[in-house]
Amino acid sequence: MSTVTRQHVTGSAPRSGFLGLLVSPFVTANRIFRPARPDIIADAAIERAQLTRTTIGMAATGWLLYAYPLRMTTQGLLKDKAVDILASTGVIVAIGPIVLLAFVIAARPSARRVYRRRLRGPLTVFGALFGSALVLWFLVVRGGAVQVTQLLGGFQIVGLVVSLAGVLFAVPFAIAAAVLCVHHCLRMADVSEVLPPVSSMVLVWVLFILQAWNNPPVAAPPSVRLLFLLGPPVSVTLLSAWELRRLRVRHGLTLRAALAR
């Protein structure tokens, strides 16, 4: 039985009331950051493998935190994990455009024209990332919520409600955006299905170099620390290599063919 499906943009069932408001930042982020090219090839086996790897990684991290004493407070650990997410997002935002530009330039003119039209997805992701960062900077860092409320004079209650709603939406949206940006590799699959596994291998090894200099959050033996340091880049590299092979064997998609070479 074939595991290939065609991924189409479908609207989720409408939600109402408090639950709808609560999940709306995450639903919006998923719609923006998930690849949405109508004819994109989605392989169920690849998706299961990615989910399995993520689940094992989370379980291993949970075991590590349970088995060994923390070097920092719980608050410090949460802050450290938040920094890791932001670092991953920063790396993919920095590397992603380089990978995309190199891919489009390396393609033959006939394919290059197609890929230029498909850049809308990654450009949408960049716009959403910078837009959410700008909103948070204005409302939280610069105190824009207070400024807007003061400017409205007698309608301060309106400004307060709008500003509070903006913050309550922007914060979870930014968190979801940071995670989905890395998970979906800037929607590079909208340009070509071979780009996410290639860019993932580059991303994890850059992150490995950055994290190699950080102090581990737990007091684990050096062998365990080395295992958990090497585990993510090695597992992602192996998974990406298998994904590229499956795309080639099952769907006839190769990097060379994508470049029309």
Q: What is the pLDDT of residues 78-98, one digit of tens each?
A: 777 777 777 788 888 888 888
pLDDT per residue over 199-254, tens digit each?
889 888 988 888 777 777 778 788 888 888 888 899 999 999 999 999 999 999 99
Q: What was the pLDDT predicted at 15?
A: 53
Q: What one-character DSSP code corresponds to residue 42?
A: E
Query: What are the beta bridge partners of residue 40?
Result: 7
pLDDT, tens only, 166-186: 788 888 898 888 888 888 888
Strand 40-43 vs strand 4-7: parallel, antiparallel, or unpaired? antiparallel
Using one digit for the tens of pLDDT, what is the confidence trace for 95-150?
888 889 999 999 999 899 999 999 999 999 988 988 888 887 877 766 666 666 66
SS3 256: helix
CB burial of 49-65 (b: ≥16 within 10 Å; e: otherwise) equals ebeeeeeeeeeebeebe
pLDDT tens string 229-240: 888 899 999 999
Token pair 């407070």 is found at 73
